[in-house]
Chains A and B, each alone.
Chain A
Amino acid sequence: METANIITLAGVRLIIPELTMVCMGLILLLLDLVVKKKGVIAAVGIAGALVALYGTFKLFGIGGPQTAFANMFVLDGYANFFKLIFYLNIILTVCISLKYMAIEKASFGEYYALLFFSTAGMMIMASAADLIILYLGLELMALSTYILAGLMRKQPRSNEAALKYFFLGAFSSAFLLYGISLTYGLTGTTNLKEIASALQALNISGSPTVFIGLIFLIVAFGFKIALVPFHMWAPDVYEGAPTSITAFMSVGPKAAGFAVLGRVLFDAFGSMQVQWNSILVPLAVITMAAGSILALAQSNIKRMLAYSSIAHAGYMLLGVIAGTPGGLTSTVNYLMIYMLMNIGAFAVIIMLRREGFQGENLEDYMGLAKGHPLASALMLIFMFSLTGIPPTAGFIGKFYVFMEAINSGYTHLAIIAVLFSVVSAFFYLRVVMYMYMKDPKEDVVLTTSCSMNLALAFTAVMVLVIGIFPSLLLDIVRVSILG
């Protein structure tokens, strides 16, 4: 606040990718007024995301963490890699949603604009070096996603999903603010680095009040990444929201939540690792347990994948619990892999949707392999990957997270995680069993489009390539985060 020039040209240079995303959102809103073909809007959107991606690549090379705007915004490898996840997430989502939203009769231009605003919010979260900017980024992401979840406004299921998501999201952001205010009151600052030094200087790392503030923050982030017991919204919202948005928000807000969780815990509360692990370890165990066991009982595949995404959040948490930069690296690596396999699986689900046919029940997958061997093979790859069977990427993701947990002395957690992975194999492989070993009840016609095929090909190839050559991805993650 004391510095005269808070907004500098060098600072504005660092936020060019965010500015590009926000401008793209505004351009798409205006474009929607004059262009009637949604394909054009989607193409312009993808081009805009690629421009922002190029901007991030350019900034990747400047080396070392850079801060701007009175140390509120930080650009380092960690933030840059998360932005890469968000770009891929939005591009793949746009690819899989074009035809689907037309079938749902919810093909509005603002759909694409809101995707961009939401992604801009996630990018701000990944770069937040201050609790104020973190809150703003989180709200920008969340408010846009609430609307997206309820975009099919003629459908009661979508209305209800948006309503539940909104109320629990607002509830969790109140917790976030209470945590921020306690932390601010005790340390006198909202800057993450200054919080860390204030905790050292005032010697209050052991203070119960600081711990309560930290608990409030973890609860708020737990809502965003759907940790049990803050997961109540996830199954309902994933089921009711448009499937393309389910794909988008099972990855985006979760990754952004992990980005801020890692940043806040490591940068600000690094000296309190024993305390935060005492909360995160039980949370991780019940998250893995509840996610895997409740998924067994689901007959709706979107709902099943919602519980699966809860279980995956539990596995990812192991890397954070490990408490080392290596652990964080493995979590980020897992998030990237999870994004690819999850969007791939949702793309196959979207293909089954056509006029007058939901295609969301497990029975709809019976005998799919007879009529559509390629689509079934793709679903097989994604389901194997979600289970964590080699040679798919899902195995690599789990392997490194569990390895980091064991290296940090959490062998018992790794054993529990492996056990629940075995449980999860039951419901993932059930889909495969339905597709390959049952007779079809009725003929299923798949809805395909060029962009959908591209997205499916990309995710499937990446899942296999990363599964066979894991160092391709792991080297990039290591260089970004460990420097």
Chain B
Amino acid sequence: MVPLSWYIILSAVMFSIGVFGFLARRNLIIVFMSVELMLNSVNISLVAFSHYLQSMRGQILVFFVITVAAAEAAIGLAILIAFYRNNPTIKVDEINLLKG
């Protein structure tokens, strides 16, 4: 039986890796993957808490998170493609039309 704290630590580490990737990576696709990693780290902790507390709410929320993340991916990639058609780059540093 794996104790609850292990799951929570795993989730925290995954979330931190996601935050680091979001802030440090320069490729938009990898930045996007980092966001997905953050969402999935939350899913781990929700399921772990849900099992520990013997309550279904956490698992219900996980299903919602997965569904919304799918919608989010669809919209995010659509925006990315619309962007790429006008400016063929996916480097974060080159997206600097708006500044000031």
Contacts and interface: CB of A to CB of B under 8 A. Distances in A.
Contact of B86 (A1, A154, A239): A154
Which of A159, A164, A182 counts the most chain B CB atoms within 10 A?
A: A159
Contacts of A174: 15, 18, 35, 38-39, 42
Interface string A160-171: 111110110011
Contacts of A300: 100
Given A171-B22, A174-B18, A162 B83 contact: yes
B24 interface: no
A425 B97 CA distance: 29
Given A162-B79, A239-B98, A132 B60 contact: yes
Contacts of B60: 132
A250 B58 CA distance: 33
Contacts of B99: 236
B17 interface: no
Contact of A163 (B8, B56, B64, B79): B79
Nearest to A151: B82
A166 B86 contact: no
B61 A190 contact: yes
A178 B15 contact: yes
A435 to B, nearest CB: 22
Interface in A188-243: 188-190, 235-236, 239-240
A138 to B, nearest CB: 10
Contacts of A235: 98, 100
Nearest to A190: B57
A178 to B, nearest CB: 5
Interface stretch (A139-147, A318-326, A449-457): A139-147
B46 to A, nearest CB: 5
Contacts of B11: 181
A166 B75 contact: yes
Contacts of B80: 163
A160 B83 contact: yes
A70 to B, nearest CB: 10
Nearest to B23: A171
A387 B98 CA distance: 26
A156 interface: yes
A66 interface: no
A190 B86 CA distance: 43
Contact of B35 (A157, A159, A171): A171
A390 B22 CA distance: 45
Contact of B79 (A135, A150, A173): A150
Given A167-B35, A171-B35, A177 B83 contact: no
B75 A147 contact: yes
A210 to B, nearest CB: 14
A-B interface, 10 closest residue pairs, ranked by CB to CB distance from nearest = A174-B38, A185-B49, A236-B98, A159-B83, A177-B42, A156-B86, A153-B82, A181-B45, A170-B35, A162-B79
Given A136-B64, A164-B98, 7 more contacts: A135-B61, A143-B75, A159-B83, A166-B76, A177-B65, A185-B53, A240-B97
30 contacts: A132-B64, A139-B71, A139-B72, A143-B68, A147-B78, A147-B79, A150-B82, A150-B83, A153-B82, A155-B86, A160-B98, A162-B83, A164-B95, A167-B31, A171-B38, A173-B72, A177-B42, A177-B65, A180-B42, A184-B57, A185-B8, A185-B49, A188-B55, A189-B57, A190-B61, A235-B98, A236-B98, A297-B100, A298-B100, A303-B100
Interface of B: 8, 11, 15, 18, 22, 28, 31-32, 35, 38-39, 41-42, 45-46, 48-49, 52-53, 55-58, 60-61, 64-65, 68, 71-72, 75-76, 78-80, 82-83, 85-87, 95, 97-100
